[in-house]
Structure 1
Amino acid sequence: MSDTGDAQPWLYRLLEPDGRQSLRRRLLAFLLVPLMLMLLLESLITYTGALVYSNHVHDRDLAGGAETVARMLQLGMDGPISEQAKFLLQYDPEGHNNINYFSIVSEHHGLIAGTPTLVPPSRLSLAVNGEPKLFDAMVERRKLRAASVVIDSTHEAGDTLTVTLAETLRDRRQNAREILLLSIPAQALLIASVFVLVWFGVRIGLRQLDPLTARLAAREHDLAPIGDADVPVEILPLTRTIDGLFARLRAMLALQERFIADAAHQLRTPLAGLRVHVERAQADPSRETVNDALDHILRLTQRATRTSGQLLALTRAQSPDHAGDPHGLLDLARMVPDLLALRVHEALAVGVDLGYEGPPTPAWVDGDRITLQELLDNLLDNALRYAGRNSMVTVGVTDDEDSACLSVEDNGPGVPPAFLARLGERFFRVPGSNEEGTGLGLAIVQRIAERHRAQVRYIAGSEGGLRVEVRFPHARTARKDSDA
């Protein structure tokens, strides 16, 4: 709840007073608001329908009343209309204080009786002895509903009488409200029943999670996938996400176990050697023996340091936390010469001629400079270590339509064709090699290349040595610029 703060709707704060999220409460909240809106909408629709029905009934009675008065006049009512008749025309039999109006207008003599302002509009087009017609009128600031009918006068030939009856709208609205009040309890009871059914339905539906909860609670150190066996469809995305998390955890644990095993495997020999030479120096404290033991200890320490460093580098290269796509835009044709300049003195010290061949134009790739420097350093370490003195090592960069290629080639003794396919395996060293090594350098190269979606190829060099090619896909940004 802390992510939404005061902006949380009041209904959620009401249903979640302790501040903890509840799926059941959320579902009920989402249902309660629409149900209340439906009750209001249904009440409005009911009132509108009841008002339409009440208007229809009252209009029919009003038209019938006008027609009845007209017939009474045609049956020989003599002289002006009596006070008793006026009272009956204006009388409200229901006792609702509903005010009724009437008017009788002669074509030749004008108003005979009733309200002088109650006249049908000219647009009504009343026919003599025709059907009564209804219209809206305004008398004494009251809105009325009226009905008019035209008949022939029985007292004067050629004269016509227009009979109009009108009433206020109070009864119509009162009837509509009564119908609404009768329907609201039934509608409210129906909605309350639906809400209760939904409440129990949600509770029963959420019980389907109990077997899954029990199965997960029974686990201790098991990171196997949950699977889809007893998982409701609605939470499959959640369980599959958890399965993905379990997979990453298994990979991390496997990587940790592999690192421990690799460290034990690689450090056992130098540590055992250190112990032997320390015991030898303790057994014979002569100057010559101690100096010789210290020389061996120094070399073994350097070997252990290099081994631990490469183990850490391999672990970083294999770690899922660093498995995302690289985002930096790098120019191999510029980066590689800069990195080679740092290794020239080392090549001279071991008697190796280190050279570079590259294109005059940029060779853009998507990559991480630090890990690519580590890749190149391991390729150079491998070449400088195994090429031998008075050999040549050439680092090249080429760029074509499909990819950019980084290559390291030497003219040393090379690798027998039968073992080329195994280069890049952890701890693999070519049989018969006299040089000390951990067998991790090319494995690190392989993992870093995979992170950059690059392909590594080991082939025989043009002068009998080993050639390693790392082919990178072109940078996506560079391709877009070239297409534009």
Structure 2
Amino acid sequence: QRKFADMNELNEDLKIIQHDVQRSTRILENLLLLARLDPSQAEELPKNQLDMTVLMEDVYTQLENFAQAKAIRYTVHQYAQRTHVYGNYELIYTCVRNVLDNAIRYTPVGGQIDVELLNEQDHLIIKIQDEGNTLDAALLTQLGQRFFRALGTKQPGTGLGLSITKKIIELHQGRVDFSLSAQGGLIVKLILPNAS
């Protein structure tokens, strides 16, 4: 790009090459992250007490421009009395970011994303619901599998985000549930043990 900055006819080709390199880099980084997340090493993860309301705000701040560009309405309902979990900030951040990024990508322009924080017994549930494309119920069981992407999707991606999310949550003794949203999209529940 520096060498041929004065050749406007090459700009578009160089942008395509740069986009492909960035996408390949993201795939490689995701694969390396998956390979490093060995369930037998869960106890070795550096963990701290995390306030999920603060973490959720951090994630949305990073994705806010993306949501605003699509005029997406975003609401948070906090019903949880206990919002602290014991975990690795970077990994839990990655989970929430992956799910919220997907919700924004698949929600149509002017759509709605609802986030709820709930307590159920000794667990915190982060429920993210979008107005994305209607999913076939049969596909729900395949969500979270490596490289799985629903046919016909026009959104860029590697099919690794939800599998990474699922693995990280399992490393924190939690689970991820997928269900169909009454709004026409997807509901993802990140279920984590509350910090004692």
Pairwise TM-score range, normalised by the shorter structure: 0.7 to 0.9
Question: 1:312, CA displacement in angstroms?
Answer: 2.7
Is 2:127 aligned against 1:407?
yes
Question: 1:388, CA displacement in angstroms?
Answer: 2.9
Of residues 142, 156, 159, the one that matches 1:439 is: 159
Q: Distance in 1 between matches of 2:159 and 2:91?
A: 19
Q: CA RMSD in A?
A: 2.2
CA contact (8 A) 1:351 1:390 kept: yes
Is 2:86 aligned against 1:369?
no
SS of equivalent residue, structure 2 residue 31: helix
Of residues 395, 407, 418, the one that matches 2:138 is: 418
Of residues 37, 43, 56, the one that matches 1:324 is: 43
- Call closer, same or farther: CA 1:366–1:312 in 2, change over 3 Å: same
Question: 1:321, CA displacement in angstroms?
Answer: 7.0
Question: 1:291, CA displacement in angstroms?
Answer: 3.0
Is 2:116 aligned against 1:393?
no
**More helix, by proportion:** 1
Aligned to 1:167: none
Gaps of 5+ in 2: 1-6
- Call closer, same or farther: CA 1:339–1:381 in 2, change over 3 Å: closer
Q: How many residues in Structure 1 have an aligned counterpart in Structure 2?
A: 189
Q: Distance in 2 between matches of 1:389 and 1:302?
A: 25
Q: TM-score by structure 1 length?
A: 0.37
Gaps of 5+ in 1: 1-285, 478-484
Task: Tell me which amino acid in the other structure corresponds to 1:390.
Answer: G
Q: Distance in 1 between matches of 2:80 and 2:86?
A: 19
SS of equivalent residue, structure 1 residue 323: helix
CA contact (8 A) 1:393 1:409 kept: yes
Mapping 1:196-345, distance limit 5 Å: 287-288=8-9, 290-316=10-36, 318-319=37-38, 322-324=41-43, 327-345=47-65
Question: 1:356, CA displacement in angstroms?
Answer: 1.7
The runs of at least 4 consecutive aligned structure 1 residues that moved more than 6 Å come to none
Q: Distance in 2 between matches of 1:417 and 1:346?
A: 28
- CA deviations on 1:148-193 (whole Å, 9 max, x unpaired) are xxxxxxxxxxxxxxxxxxxxxxxxxxxxxxxxxxxxxxxxxxxxxx
- CA deviations on 1:208-255 (whole Å, 9 max, x unpaired) are xxxxxxxxxxxxxxxxxxxxxxxxxxxxxxxxxxxxxxxxxxxxxxxx
Is 2:183 aligned against 1:463?
yes
CA contact (8 A) 1:325 1:451 kept: no
Q: Distance in 2 between matches of 1:423 and 1:355?
A: 24
- CA deviations on 1:380-402 (whole Å, 9 max, x unpaired) are 12112222322222222111324
Question: 1:421, CA displacement in angstroms?
Answer: 0.3
CA contact (8 A) 2:80 2:118 kept: no
- Call closer, same or farther: CA 1:412–1:393 in 2, change over 3 Å: same
Is 2:150 aligned against 1:430?
yes
Task: Tell me which amino acid in the other structure corresponds to 1:411.
Answer: E
CA contact (8 A) 2:42 2:172 kept: no
Q: Distance in 2 between matches of 1:360 and 1:443?
A: 26
- CA deviations on 1:424-464 (whole Å, 9 max, x unpaired) are 00001001111121000000001001101111111011211
- Call closer, same or farther: CA 1:305–1:423 in 2, change over 3 Å: same
**Identity of counterpart residues, as a percentage?**
31
CA contact (8 A) 2:80 2:124 kept: no
CA contact (8 A) 1:333 1:361 kept: no
Question: 1:371, CA displacement in angstroms?
Answer: 0.8
- CA deviations on 1:183-209 (whole Å, 9 max, x unpaired) are xxxxxxxxxxxxxxxxxxxxxxxxxxx
Task: Tell me which amino acid in the other structure corresponds to 1:370.
Answer: E
**More strand, by proportion:** 2
- Call closer, same or farther: CA 1:311–1:353 in 2, change over 3 Å: farther
Task: Tell me which amino acid in the other structure corresponds to 1:468.
Answer: V
CA contact (8 A) 2:72 2:112 kept: yes
Aligned to 2:4: none
Aligned to 2:173: 453
- Call closer, same or farther: CA 1:344–1:314 in 2, change over 3 Å: same
- Call closer, same or farther: CA 1:393–1:313 in 2, change over 3 Å: farther
- Call closer, same or farther: CA 1:341–1:355 in 2, change over 3 Å: farther
Aligned to 2:3: none
SS of equivalent residue, structure 2 residue 188: strand
SS of equivalent residue, structure 2 residue 159: coil
Task: Tell me which amino acid in the other structure corresponds to 1:457.
Answer: D
